[in-house]
Homo-oligomer: A and B are copies of this chain.
Amino acid sequence: MNDTFLKACRGEKTDYTPIWMMRQAGRYLPEYQKVRANFTFLELCKTPELCVEVTLQPVDILGVDAAILFSDILIPMEAMGAPLYFHEGRGPIFPEPVRTREALDRLIVPDPELHTGFVMETIRLLRKELKVPLIGFSGAPFTLATYLIEGGSSKVFWETKKMMFTQPDLFHSLMEKITACTSLYLQAQARAGAQALQIFDSWAGVLAPCDFEEFALPYVQKIISDLKATGLPIIYFANNGATLLELSVQSGADVLGLDWRIDIGDAVKVVGNRAVQGNIDPFALMLPKDKLRQRIGNLLHGARNAHGHIFNLGHGIHQFTPPDQAKIAIDAVHELSANHKYR
């Protein structure tokens, strides 16, 4: 069992810097495309044997130090009773957006084993196969709320902010219900065997710090507080969240995920006694080998004073990235971080 990733999460000394990549199971891998070709995205998400197969692919092919459950952050939202489908071009669609008290009242707080048992089954199956730690995950309440309110992806989040600013009570009620669902969902993942949990706040970065503090952070804090009893390391990733980092530390997470916009050395100074995860620009994987290795060396050096560093991309790997380039990066992280010059 390779537990380098878990050690780094806890801020313990490791022989090298562990690495995994957000969306490491995904479209850039021909092996994934082959599985995906025969199923819709939701069919794939709901079939444990297929989820196991694609979760294992990057571990076997690339040699990453952690696996992350293959699923989607919106799965528990569908389980709350919001009809969901995935449009090939436009992404996730909730055809019945939640914008009224009545729509909110129709949502349930699902039983994770009953309504999303396929996720828990995937975790149990994966634990029998894996030689690296398994990360479970969820979306953060604010991010999940944006999808329900907007009815899918959004560029500017007009409906979400309009509700926040003109109907704050309704917004907070929605956040409470999503939080209850998410907390149970992650606790169930822990019971099923997840060894770390990441909370993805993909859209937190559209909030001013004062609004993040009022409308988003308290719900992340509640979930992480509920998860303390599991003893698992918790990673909180607020995408585009450089200006939210000081507040994000107050989430109680053990590890702060960083997108590529922030210098990792600056981030380490802010997070203090927590581990960091990140943060190379995923598109920088396109750099020629020597420049890619140089950038990775700089990043490792920048994180040298971190209380634990898990190498990752600053965002999901892009579908057009050649897997060979990902492999070069992973090998470089392992090789360079084992050298005292960089850490």
Contacts and interface: CB of A to CB of B under 8 A. Distances in A.
Nearest to A244: B261
Given A156-B318, A166-B288, A242-B242, A161 B262 contact: no
A295 B261 CA distance: 27
Contacts of A288: 166
A211 B260 CA distance: 11
Interface residues of A, number: 34
A53 interface: no
A86 interface: no
Contacts of A208: 260-261, 263, 281, 284, 314
A277 B192 CA distance: 51
Q: Which 9 A-B pairs have the closest CB atoms?
A: A161-B283, A165-B286, A242-B243, A165-B287, A208-B260, A243-B262, A243-B261, A208-B281, A209-B263
Contacts of A205: 261
Interface string A211-245: 10000000000000000000000000000101100
A219 B288 CA distance: 24
Nearest to A286: B165
B166 A286 contact: yes
A284 B166 CA distance: 9
A158 B320 contact: yes
Interface string A156-168: 1110011001100
